[in-house]
Amino acid sequence: MKDKIIYLAREPKISACYTVVGSKESNGPLGQLFDEHCDDDKFSKDSWEKAESEMQKRAFAGALKKSGFIDTDVDILLAGDLLNQCVGSAYGLLDFDIPYLGLYGACSTCAEGLAIGACLYSGNIIDLYGAVTSSHYCSSERQFRYPLEYGGQRTPTAQWTTTGAGAYVVGSEGKVAISQVLFGKAIDMGITDINNMGAAMAPAAIDTITRYFEETGHSPKDFDLIVTGDLGYEGSEILKDLLLGKGIDITNNHTDCGLMIFDRERQDVHAGGSGCGCSAVVMGASVIPRIERGELKKVLFIGTGALMSPMTLFQGGSIPAIAHLVRLEYRGE
Amino acid sequence: MKDKIIYLAREPKISACYTVVGSKESNGPLGQLFDEHCDDDKFSKDSWEKAESEMQKRAFAGALKKSGFIDTDVDILLAGDLLNQCVGSAYGLLDFDIPYLGLYGACSTCAEGLAIGACLYSGNIIDLYGAVTSSHYCSSERQFRYPLEYGGQRTPTAQWTTTGAGAYVVGSEGKVAISQVLFGKAIDMGITDINNMGAAMAPAAIDTITRYFEETGHSPKDFDLIVTGDLGYEGSEILKDLLLGKGIDITNNHTDCGLMIFDRERQDVHAGGSGCGCSAVVMGASVIPRIERGELKKVLFIGTGALMSPMTLFQGGSIPAIAHLVRLEYRGE
């Protein structure tokens, strides 16, 4: 294909979303919108990793129930998370009798899963799919940064990993269509600070968004909302500034899932939220329902992910990032 | 879809494969078939992880060159590996100007990437894709088991992680077609021994192979070769025995990439080879060229992966596994 944007001839519709979050997310600005929350961040399990799997299990079971389908109706599950070897997904989704495709897109996983599934649907390869992802503050923090007991001071640019899982069932029924997809390229601009992921991911979002507007000829004002997930405060400022320099002004209709999920001042989360679960629960609980109700008609969702590991940073590497774009449209009566 | 097997209406062809391996693999039975090898297992880099990325880079550059395409011709790259956060792929493929989709399928990644790409091709979503994966004995061993310096004794059922990367360029030209795909389900039969991955993965292969023969009505004798990757000796024996119990006799035309890559006696690898790179280089250097020459006409490739992490095993978990099936056919004159 010359044009890298994928125009979906057969548009899949989001039939159901279901979101499960922890206590901090419940106390945030979107708290009332999530389907399920747990005050115990272990979700009655004996480790944070098992809690993360439990969230994915509940999220997908909830989405299935809402959709009216059962697991054997679903052609494939596309899932991934931040844990080493993506075990949040592999263990969390074991109970479902559905072919499983593991993904690794870091915090872009929600967009990656929705997008790959949408392409397979449009190509008549599948008729119904699930996209699931999660993150957990405690399992992420100890894997990527420090043991929680260490009580490390957080820098102002640090983001707070969301404890949450979001699941989507996507097929022929629903009011929110996925009409276009643009897969991102891995971009590395030399950022090495694991406490400033927004700066590392912004260039990937800029690349994808710029390519999108150049190839389509659209401008940001053609969209009700351009939502990134999750650049946080730092990354969002960089994104808006640098896009403005390229003549693309998204200042009036941009938001970021990492800015929506927490109250930055009241909840002491510094630059905002992050983690695979962040965009998954914010899109599922807030943005997609607003499209379903017709309040938003055309939305660009750009899922961003940072693809480093602690090992690559210890070895002096910088942080490659990626951003996948999914265009969502209202298809109600 | 009722039928979970995906029949590809528009068949993609494997245009080029390129394989890069380390010294032990060069000294194995297939040594002469690999495109590139390096006696220095660090591939001139200063860490094993960087060496693994370097292998992926060389493998994909080699496949591109063989295919006659350049990177901007390629619609998407599907890649993954065993390293935490799949950094072998993310860093290794940074230099290529191609949309990137990260996968996590453990040792099934080669099959997963070929299969997802094949579906996207058949659905007219893309016209040309790359599938790349790798593993490295040293980076895997220290991540999953022990520091190499510790010199831990290996158990008889242990497999030896292949140092190698395999890359495929797949599009409209070539003599080897991907005609069918069957995605696997995650299966956990309660195996907890990280030194017996073959036993953990065999049930997933059995599930996929059984579903395939039940749904198609074919029998093993309809195929010139049924190749799993990588069950090793233990897993292969379990696979053949249990399939025989179900009335599916693959004893005469089954092989396993983990049994092909090393000489088990001479090279002291116990149950055979493993790692994402194993099936990637064995298929790319041996099986696919044999199909290209018309020596094999119909081949089932079943890529198997174990989806645990060291953390889940420390926490008492067992090992879920998966097996994706790709049907390959000779389409020469």
Q: Is B50 on the interface with A (CB under 8 A)?
A: yes
Asked if the peptide bond before residue B230 counts as cis, ω within 30 degrees of 0, the response is yes
CATH architecture of B176-330: 3-Layer(aba) Sandwich (3.40)
State whether residue B238 sits within 8 Å of chain A by CB. no
Is pLDDT above 90 for B24? Answer: yes
User: In this structure, what are the phi and psi dihedrals at residue A79, rounded to the nearest 5 degrees?
Assistant: -150, 155
- The confidence band for B3, taking pLDDT boundaries of 50, 70 and 90, is low
Residues contacting A245, CB < 8 A, separation 6+: none
User: Cβ(A182)–Cβ(A5) under 8 Å?
Assistant: yes
How close, in Å, is residue A23 to chain B by CA atoms?
A: 24
Q: Specify the length of chain A in residues.
A: 333
| Residue of B50, B102, B308 with shortest CB distance to A85 | B308
In chain A, positions 260-279, which contact chain B (CB-CB < 8 Å)?
none
Query: Which of B108, B179, B13, B1 has its CA nearest to residue A120?
Result: B1
CA distance B172 to chain A (A): 12
Tell which residue, B86, B179, B42, has the closest CA to residue A84: B86
Which among B47, B101, B123 has the least Cβ separation from residue A120?
Answer: B123
Distance from C-alpha of B24 to C-alpha of B22, rounded to nearest angstrom: 6
- Judged by CB atoms closer than 8 Å, whether chains meet at B184 and A99 is answered as yes
pLDDT in tens, B169-218: 999 999 999 999 999 999 999 999 989 999 999 999 999 999 999 999 99
Q: CB distance from A220 to chain B under 8 Å?
A: no
Q: Is A151 in contact with A117 (CB distance < 8 Å)? A: no
- Looking at residue A252, the DSSP 8-state letter turns out to be T
How far is residue B135 from each of residues A318, B240, B277, B300, measured CA to CA in Å? 21, 26, 5, 23
Q: Please tell me the distance in Å from B276's CA to the nearest CA on chain A.
A: 13
User: Angle at which helices A48-67 and A137-144 pack, to 10 degrees?
Assistant: 140
Check CB contact under 8 Å for A320 and B90.
Answer: yes
Quick check: A93 and A51 in contact, CB under 8 A?
A: no
Of the candidates B198, B199, B188, B250, the residue with the CA atom closest to the CA atom of residue B225 = B250
CATH 3.40.47.40 placement within chain A = 6-171, 176-330
CB of A307 within 8 Å of any CB in chain B? yes
* A182 chain-B contacts, CB cut-off 8 A: 99
Cβ pair B212, B181 in contact under 8 A = no
CB A141 within 8 A of CB A160: no
pLDDT of residue B54 exceeding 90: yes
pLDDT digits (tens, 9 = 90+) for B142-178: 999 989 999 888 899 999 999 999 999 999 999 999 9
Q: How far apart are CA B318 and CA B301, in angstroms?
A: 26
3-state per-residue secondary structure call for chain B: CCCCCEECCCCCEEEEEEEEECHHHHCCCCHHHCCEECCCCCCCCCCHHHHHHHHHHHHHHHHHHHHCCCHHHCCEEEEEECCHHHHHHHHHCCCCCCEEEEECCHHHHHHHHHHHHHHHHHCCCCCCEEEEEEECHHHHHHHHCCCHHHCCCCCCCCCEECCEEEEEEEECCCCEEEEEEECCECECCCCCCCCCHHHHHHHHHHHHHHHHHHHHCCCHHHCCEEEEECCHHHHHHHHHHHHHHCCCCCCCCEEEHHHHCCCCCCCCCCCCEECHHHHHHHHHHHHHHHHHCCCCCEEEEEEEEECCCHHHHHCCCCCCEEEEEEEEEECCC
b/e A101-139 (16+ beta carbons within 10 angstroms → b): bbbbbbbbbbbbbbbbbbbbbbbbbbbbbbbbbbbbbbb
Amino acid occupying residue A48: W
B173 has a chain A CB within 8 A of its CB: no
> A5-23: b or e for each residue (b if 16 or more CB lie within 10 Å)?
bbebeebbbbbbbbbbbbe
Distance CA B202, CA B211 (A): 14
Among B185, B249, B246, B59, which Cα is nearest to A72's? B185
Average pLDDT per run of 10 along chain A, which is 333 residues long?
83 98 97 95 96 98 98 97 98 97 98 98 98 97 92 91 98 98 97 93 98 97 97 97 98 98 95 97 98 98 97 96 98 86
Residue A70 touches chain B, beta carbons under 8 Å? no
Residues of B in Cβ contact (< 8 Å) with A120: 116, 119-120, 123, 125
CA distance B32 to chain A (A): 33
pTM for the model stands at: 0.98
Q: Evaluate whether B318 touches B309 at the Cβ level (below 8 Å).
A: no
pLDDT at B60: 98
pLDDT of residue A271: 95
Q: Looking at the complex, does the CB of residue A49 fall below 8 Å from at least one CB of chain B?
A: yes
Residues paired with B173 in a beta bridge: none
B49 touches chain A (CB under 8 A): yes
Closest CA to B275 of B113, B83, B78, B20: B83
Alpha-carbon distances of A148 from A138, A151, A227, B218, rounded to whole Å: 7, 6, 31, 55
* Separation CA A78–CA A126 (nearest Å): 12
The A residues from 108 to 167 touching B (CB cutoff 8 Å) are: 112, 116, 119-120, 122-127
Give the span between the Cα atoms of B199 and B196, in whole angstroms: 6
Residue to mutate among B101, B121, B145, B191, with most A CBs inside 10 A, is: B101
Say if the Cβ atoms of A87 and B309 lie within 8 Å. Answer: yes
Minimal Cβ distance to B102: which of A120, A307, A308: A307
pLDDT, tens only, B250-284: 999 999 999 999 999 999 999 999 999 999 999 99
Q: Is the pLDDT of residue B55 over 70?
A: yes
Asked if the model's pLDDT at residue B111 lies above 90, the reply is yes
CATH class of the domain at B6-171: alpha beta
Q: How far is B94 from chain A (nearest CA, A)?
A: 6
- Give contacts of B194 with chain A, Cβ < 8 Å: none
| Count of pairs with CB atoms under 8 A, one residue in A, one in B | 168
Token representation of residue B121: 């091709």
What 8-state DSSP symbol labels residue A92? H
Give contacts of A6 with chain B, Cβ < 8 Å. Answer: 125
* Alpha-carbon gap, residue B168 to B129, rounded angstroms: 8
Instruction: Count CA within 13 A, CB hemisphere, residue B69.
Output: 26
Q: What pLDDT, on the 0 to 100 scale, is given for residue B273? A: 96
- pLDDT of the residue at B1: 47
The rounded distance, in Å, linking the Cα atoms of A6 and A21 is 32
Q: Tell me if chain B has a CB within 8 Å of the CB of A200.
A: no
- What percent of chain B shows pLDDT beyond 70? 99
Token code pair at residue B139: 């980076």
Quick check: B45 contacting A, CB < 8 Å? no
Nearest CB partner across the interface for A85, out of B1, B76, B309: B309
Calpha distance A106→B100 (Å, rounded): 13
CB nearest to A311's CB, from B49, B103, B188: B49
A311: contact with B, CB 8 A cutoff? yes
Partner-chain residue, chosen from A91, A99, A116, that has the shortest CB–CB distance to B312: A91
Return the pLDDT at A152: 85
Nearest chain A Cα distance for residue B269, angstroms: 24
Which residues does chain A have within 8 Å of residue B75's beta carbon, measured at their own beta carbons? Answer: 1, 4
For residue A184, list chain B residues with Cβ-Cβ distance below 8 A: 99-100
